[in-house]
A and B are shown apart, each in its own frame.
Chain A
Amino acid sequence: MRSDLVLRVIAKLLIPFVLLFALYVQFHGDFGPGGGFQAGVIIAAAMIFYAIVFGLPAARRMVPDRAVEAMVAAGVLIYAGVGVAGLLLGGNYLDYFVLDRVPAHGQERGIFWVEAGVAVTVSGVMLKIFYMFAGRRSDADDA
């Protein structure tokens, strides 16, 4: 019981900082190492940590199944949507320089949305895979 208490307190203290670090990695991917994939994996790791310490039903209440499944698909849609936006504004598919009057700013905007889409999909998929593995009872408990 004592070690359980230590885990819960530390988890409640650490998880917000882990999520903040994930956001930092996501948005500073332009200026340092980082980007969408790393940020998505760190977000999923924070949620998996929460699920391990507090149990799977509590994690399912915090991030419901439907939200995770929506995240899985939404990220790819955001990425493809940026490409279509390039088409609609006059360039080729996935052209970024048409997204703004100054081409370099258009590139920045395109890269921002693309990395956001990647992070959403990666974190959703990693979390959903963990939910699927952890929610499936082993055969010994089925009988």
Chain B
Amino acid sequence: MNFAGHYSYWITVFLMIAGLYVVIARGNLIKKLIGLGIFQTSVYLLYIAPGKLIGGTAPIIASGFGTYSNPLPHVLILTAIVVGVATLALGLAIVVRIHEAYGSIEEDEILDRDLTGQEGR
């Protein structure tokens, strides 16, 4: 087990559980969305780190370079980044509507208001 080699994987796992913790343990909706973003970026790191070859270069064919880093994860992660920002935009639009309907963006306040609204009916 190579410590220096696996350091990037361990940092990826740390970022992943930090993002997961923010999503499940914080009540503020906007902070949850930011935690989701951290989770997504850790997945990008997980995909691209194994593709790197020491001594290689960016995957643009040019004379004078023999080894190239793996281009396939780059393609997948490019799609993932754009889908991630689309998700963030939709999530923020929903948060804005929730705020207008309930007056708050804290999860427990929204649940309280929802439950008292249902019981009062």
- Are A139 and B92 touching (Cβ within 8 A)? no
- Are B92 and A32 touching (Cβ within 8 A)? no
Q: Which residues 119-133 in A have Cβ within 8 Å of B in the complex? A: 122, 125, 129, 132-133
Q: Give the Cβ gap from A31 to chain B, nearest Cβ, in Å.
A: 7
- Are B100 and A139 touching (Cβ within 8 A)? yes
Give the number of residues in B that approach A within 8 Å (Cβ atoms): 11
- Are A132 and B93 touching (Cβ within 8 A)? yes
What is the interface of chain A mostly: helix, strand, loop, or mixed?
helix
Find chain A residues with CB under 8 A from B92 CB.
Answer: 133
Find chain B residues with CB under 8 A from A133 CB.
Answer: 92-93, 96
Find chain A residues with CB under 8 A from B60 CB.
Answer: 31-33
What residues make up the interface of A, taking CB atoms closer than 8 Å to B? 31-33, 37, 122, 125, 129, 132-133, 136, 139
- Are A37 and B89 touching (Cβ within 8 A)? no
What residues make up the interface of B, taking CB atoms closer than 8 Å to A? 58, 60, 78, 82, 86, 89, 92-93, 96, 99-100
Q: Give the Cβ gap from A46 to chain B, nearest Cβ, in Å.
A: 17
Q: Give the Cβ gap from A113 to chain B, nearest Cβ, in Å.
A: 19
Q: What is the chain B residue whose CB lies nearest that of A136?
A: B96
Q: What is the chain B residue whose CB lies nearest that of A40?
A: B82
Alpha-carbon distance between A122 and B81 when the two chains are bound, in angstroms: 13
Find chain B residues with CB under 8 A from A129 CB.
Answer: 89, 93
Find chain B residues with CB under 8 A from A33 CB.
Answer: 58, 60
Alpha-carbon distance between A33 and B59 when the two chains are bound, in angstroms: 9
